[in-house]
Amino acid sequence: MQAGGRIVALSTSVIAKSFPQYGPYIAAKAGVEGLVRVLANELRGRNITVNAVAPGPVATELFFEGKSEEQITQLSKLAPLERLGQPEDIANVVAFLAGSDGGWINGQVVRANGGFA
């Protein structure tokens, strides 16, 4: 990767909530977050940023799969904004981190979740 490059990984805000039965998922995403911090240091001096975005509940096909309407409504109300995130909400954060405006953000996990966690 050339100088000025951007690496944006995806994690989850579920890490901060520690929901039962999410152990393997949380463990995998915690590894992603650890890797972001280490890789940011390993790429020292190369002007390459490494960050992660950790979405909360987002209205995607995968999120809706296997959930009742009641569960979806309940999860929608967990964040102070009282709505599910939209794919565009997450895309905008990724675009910020990948663009020139995000050039001073490095080794961070941005929890884009409407205040969910």
Q: Is residue 116 in a domain?
A: no
Question: Is residue 27's pLDDT more than 90?
Answer: yes
Q: Is residue 18 in a domain?
A: yes
CB burial class (10 A; 0-12, 13-18, 19+) of residue 74?
exposed
Question: Is residue 12's pLDDT more than 90?
Answer: yes
Q: Is 22 a catalytic residue?
A: no
Q: Is residue 86 in a domain?
A: yes
Distance CA(17)–CA(22), nearest Å, equals 10
Q: Is residue 1 in a domain?
A: no
- Number of domains within the chain: 1
At 19 the pLDDT is 85
Q: Is residue 21 in a domain?
A: yes
Candidates 5, 25, 28, 42; catalytic one: 25
| CB count in 10 Å sphere of residue 54 | 24
At 96 the pLDDT is 98
Q: CA angle, corner 26, sides to 20 and 28, nearest 5?
A: 145
**Which pLDDT tens digit goes with each residue over 64-97?**
999 999 999 999 999 999 999 999 999 999 999 9
Q: Is residue 117 in a domain?
A: no
Find the CATH number of the domain harbouring 72: 3.40.50.720
Asked if residues 36 and 50 have their Cβ atoms less than 8 Å apart, the reply is yes
Q: Is residue 35 in a domain?
A: yes
Look up the domain containing 16 and give its range: 6-110
Contacts of 79 (CB under 8 A, 6+ apart): 56, 57, 113, 114, 115, 116
Query: What pTM was estimated for this model as a whole?
Result: 0.92
